[in-house]
Amino acid sequence: MDRMRLAVVQLCSTPDLDANLEATRCAIDHAASMGAELVALPENFAFMRREGEPFPCVQGPDGELVPFLADCARRHGVWLLGGTFPEAIEGDTRVHNTSVVLSPDGAEVARYRKIHLFDVDLSDEVRFEESATVLPGDRLVTAETPLASTS
């Protein structure tokens, strides 16, 4: 394969997980109907929270988000880059900001945990410190697809 049609999805996520997942499902359906073979979701596709509030959908390995994404990938036979979601860390109050890559049969082929966190001082009064609630990952991750391989 020397070409692959890609779709990049933009969503306006809210704190309502069910509404966000329905919007995600609709966006993937639309991308696939337009011939996308790889669909990329945005960071925090499943939720959006205000700084300092708890994560509304922290997931362990058996959470609902990865199976939801796997079902979408399998239903349309597309590669799916699953944006990011808060992944629970055993023994830690922080989470990983995690992204998965799923193959067209719904199998997870890669899992990346965000390395470079968003810590910024906007003014003396306004500071965003992702590292206070998110533990960074420790490695780069690649995924083999028909278009690209690591070999």
Q: What per-residue confidence (pLDDT) applies to 36?
A: 97
What pTM was computed for the model? 0.89
Please report the pLDDT score of residue 114 as a whole number: 95
The full 3-state SS of 74-116, as one line of letters, equals HHHCCEEECCCEEEECCCCCCEEEEEEEECCCCCEEEEEECCC
> What is the SS3 assignment for 126?
coil
| pLDDT value of residue 16 | 87
pLDDT at 51: 66
Element (H or E) spanning 8, and its range? strand 6-8
Per-block mean pLDDT, blocks of 10 residues, the chain (151 long): 87 89 97 97 84 74 89 97 92 92 96 93 87 93 79 58
Tell me the Cα Rg of the chain: 16
Nearest CA to 30 out of 64, 72, 65, 74 is that of 72
Q: Which CATH number fits domain 6-114: 3.60.9.10, 3.40.190.290, 3.60.110.10, 3.40.1180.10?
A: 3.60.110.10
Domain boundaries, the chain: 6-114
